A = this chain, B = another copy of it.
């Protein structure tokens, strides 16, 4: 399809004209991407992308899950044979089933990327699968399609990755020392596997953590010290935030001695399920405590049942399309943390969930009172036009525009970064235009807010 100038705009002529004008004013502004999952190695090594299947299918579980739902095996979609022949076959499957992506977030970003990056306006199909494959494959060999060139072309002002606390951040260092690369790529401290004793391998993880910082015995005080130490290492290498993916955002506050006791019980396998939950909740509060000290922003992504289908997880590992949202609760769960640190001037706590009812029931009201709390952008499944519009409609009346996080692309798919931000900017422009036409804000306000949403607001939220 041919991209239209006014895409994502629905409304009267006047509303659309104003939306277009607002979008125009921000469309060329640099992208701030303070949370995502791009592999820093991709940029550090700066090798050409192998082929269209690797680029658009293999690592995008938004796409593979829908093909899986249509009956295709993950083995033929990057989790098995990835030979050139297999890649071409995967691409064919993808093109033949293009219709299943119609109306989805993935369909939108792929369509945009095909045209904007590769000049492709044909609708993918079984017929043109091979020629599209060849066309893209050829372009991937051009220097302007190397990751670093794209980074520059995308006008990314800052890109945050998500990293294990024990990661030595070698690719980040390599990028910082790469004289050809002037972009800013920063790590994010993601300690889930160390904080929650219910995680498999938790004991090993703790041992490795203690070892990494050269402490000699596995005890609670060293565990805390090691985490502080790794945070400092991350901060020193540019990190501005820590990220926490939790099933429930439960927080607790144990006494030092109680924390020590349960920590021991967890290590010796004698802790009850309740004690493990208390400990995990305590560690979330400890993270807030450390943020008050070191200033790292906390982002909390809550309410996902990870790896829902056991067999797929066993065969193909995590991030294979079957993380399924569940109901989530913040008001009660976060109370302990917020009562202790919610008004601390150093804390920023950005809340994300996949339960849109919670946006206006809990998150916006919390962000409308606590200086530390901010409303996380529509995330994951909600990273799409209608969801993003509902997000604005539900959150703005309660918390205004200035208690948000700015848009977060949260993506593994490097090529999708510009179009995701474009989507957010277009939806926000449309929303603002509607408010102006309904006399709810002035045009001047709209113009200022449009700019702030992509600049001042994410900068403030992530202390950039």
Interface residues of A (CB under 8 A from B): 1, 3-4, 6-13, 15, 65-66, 68-71, 99-105, 107-108, 123, 305, 308-312, 321-322, 324-327, 329, 331-332, 335, 338-339, 342-343, 345, 354-357, 360-362, 364-371, 373, 381-382, 384-387, 390, 393-394, 396-403, 434-435, 437-442, 444-445, 448-449
Contact = CB atoms under 8 A, between A and B. Distances in A.
A342 B71 CA distance: 11
A435 B310 CA distance: 36
Contacts of A322: 369-370
Given A7-B439, A103-B440, A326 B362 contact: yes
**7 nearest A-B pairs in the assembled complex, by CB-CB distance:** A7-B439, A384-B397, A4-B439, A103-B396, A386-B393, A1-B442, A65-B369
Contact of A309 (B1, B69, B369): B369
Contact of A123 (B100, B368, B442): B442
Given A69-B368, A308-B335, A400-B102, A386 B381 contact: no
A378 to B, nearest CB: 10
Given A123-B442, A439-B6, A449-B102, A360 B356 contact: yes
A311 B371 CA distance: 14
Contact of A71 (B3, B11, B345): B345
A329 B331 contact: no
A368 B9 contact: no
A309 B338 contact: yes
Contact of A370 (B7, B102, B309, B331): B309
14 contacts: A1-B441, A99-B402, A99-B449, A103-B401, A105-B397, A326-B361, A354-B361, A355-B361, A356-B360, A360-B382, A381-B398, A382-B397, A385-B438, A386-B393
A65 B26 CA distance: 30
Given A7-B439, A104-B398, A365-B381, A309 B339 contact: yes
A311 B331 contact: no
A305 B332 contact: yes
Given A364-B381, A397-B385, A308 B325 contact: no
A443 to B, nearest CB: 9
A347 B59 CA distance: 28
B439 A3 contact: yes
Contacts of A4: 439
A122 B66 CA distance: 49
Contacts of A305: 331-332, 335
Given A70-B371, A99-B448, A103-B440, A362 B8 contact: no
A435 B325 contact: no
